Amino acid sequence: MRLFLIAGEPSGDRLGAALMQGLRHLVPDVEIVGIGGPAMTAEGLESLFPMEVLSVMGLAEVVPRLPELLRRRDAAVAAIADLRPDALITIDSPDFCLRVVARARRVRPSLPVIHYVAPSVWAWRPGRAEKMARHVDHVLALLPFEPPYMQAAGMSCDFVGHPVVTEPRATPAEAAAFRARAGGEVALVLPGSRRGEVTRLGPVFGEAIEQLPRGSRVVVPTVPHLEPVLREMTRGWPFDPILVTDPADKRAAFGAATAALAASGTVSLELAASGTPMVIAYDMNWFSWQIVSRMLRVDTGTLVNLIAGRNVVPEFHGPACRAGPVGAAFARLMSVPSERDRQTQALSDAMDALGRGGVAPGLRAARSVVDHLAK
């Protein structure tokens, strides 16, 4: 069996790596080719080109990069046509992936297509499911309430859970050792996994942390390709920030943290998995926000809140993403134990809802793929 996988951003890369592990467990001789990042590369994928070139978000951000993105799309389609995989599996990044799918299907109409991560039609742009169903046969959903939306649009869909529930966590000893090295109450600051996010949110977060209580130690986990950008950006931040890129140090920092300030996205689930209370903040280009905000169908952009059914995690989006209120909420979370306790049960419940304690999501996703192709 030969499968072509495409991931376009770090969260998709982690999903792809877990899926690759599951597929190799079920089909030891499976051949996996495609596009991915460091996690998928560690599982043996030789990426067609660096995944980072696809990690762009927002209309105003995409337009200047459009010629390059179109070239990458065409390169992916050409590789699919040449390698003739038994199936194409696209992982999140729908703006890029589904354009590849549409063109690949023109070349090979019978190509089975599976998309990993259901579009959040419950939140905005409900018509995306019907549009996706023109070219996608089967969907692997991360959230338990998503399959009915996909099935109503004409695709089969399985809830497979989220790999975040099986990712290793720091031991109490590792967390304590990191806390001792930090020399204070650890305040995590996570301004995003894309360069555009970091350059937009970094200054806001840097100003927000000025309100943290004395004795705080700011820790900034990041990925290697963004480390130079953040090192330069944090040079003038208070509390002498510690930058962390090693995965083991990142786990220890999550375990050691009193609380976190993070960009909206998958990182909120990583924090929930470690039991770390958080404040979420996110902003985008003004033009992009004007469009997106008018399309929203829910009043929260944080998955923990969505799963909990209430806004237990403070969040600041769009015009609300300003240093004053964000910093006040973060400072309160760092200094008031009852504020942190208010989140604890909701974080645990979210992990249970996403599959903690059951079959590993990567293996569940792999079984769904194999079963679908067998049909």
Question: Average pLDDT, whole number, for the chain?
Answer: 90
Range of weakest confidence among 8-12, 36-40, 272-276: 8-12
- Say what the pLDDT of residue 59 is: 45
Which residues touch 358 (CB under 8 Å, ≥6 apart)? Answer: 161, 364
Q: Give the length of the chain.
A: 375
Has residue 317 been placed in a domain? yes
pLDDT digits (tens, 9 = 90+) for 80-132: 999 999 999 999 988 899 999 999 999 999 999 999 999 877 656 678 899 99
**How many CA within 13 A on the CB side of residue 36?**
27
Instruction: Give me the mean pLDDT over the 249-277 stretch.
Output: 94
Same domain membership, residue 363 and residue 297: no
Same domain membership, residue 150 and residue 184: no
- Say what the pLDDT of residue 104 is: 96
- Say what the pLDDT of residue 80 is: 97
Q: Which residue has the higher pLDDT, 144 or 327?
A: 327
Same domain membership, residue 157 and residue 11: yes
Same domain membership, residue 52 and residue 124: yes
Kind plus residue range of the DSSP H or E element containing 281: strand 278-282
- Say what the pLDDT of residue 122 is: 62
Instruction: Give me the mean pLDDT over the 208-237 stretch.
Output: 94
- Say what the pLDDT of residue 62 is: 57
Same domain membership, residue 192 and residue 257: yes
Same domain membership, residue 200 and residue 348: yes
Has residue 167 been placed in a domain? no
Same domain membership, residue 179 and residue 323: yes
Same domain membership, residue 229 and residue 313: yes
User: What pairing do the DSSP bridges indicate for beta strands 113-116 and 259-263?
Assistant: unpaired
- Say what the pLDDT of residue 120 is: 78
Q: Which band of pLDDT confidence, cut at 50, 70 and 90, is reported for residue 58? A: very low
Has residue 289 been placed in a domain? yes
- Say what the pLDDT of residue 128 is: 85
Supply the range of the domain harboring residue 117: 2-162+357-374
CATH number at residue 368: 3.40.50.2000
C-alpha dist (Å) from residue 193 to 20, 94, 221, 363, 369: 22, 17, 10, 26, 28
- Say what the pLDDT of residue 36 is: 95
Q: Estimate the crossing angle of helix 172-182 against helix 247-256, to 10 degrees.
A: 90
pLDDT tops 50 at residue 233: yes
Range of weakest confidence among 133-137, 144-148, 276-280, 367-371: 144-148
Same domain membership, residue 70 and residue 194: no
Same domain membership, residue 341 and residue 214: yes
Kind plus residue range of the DSSP H or E element containing 365: helix 361-374
- Say what the pLDDT of residue 290 is: 62
pLDDT tops 60 at residue 190: yes
Same domain membership, residue 193 and residue 57: no
Has residue 43 been placed in a domain? yes
Q: Which band of pLDDT confidence, cut at 50, 70 and 90, is reported for residue 56? A: low
Same domain membership, residue 221 and residue 180: yes
Count of the separate structural domains present in the chain: 2
The rounded percent of the chain whose pLDDT value lies above 70 is: 91
Has residue 56 been placed in a domain? yes
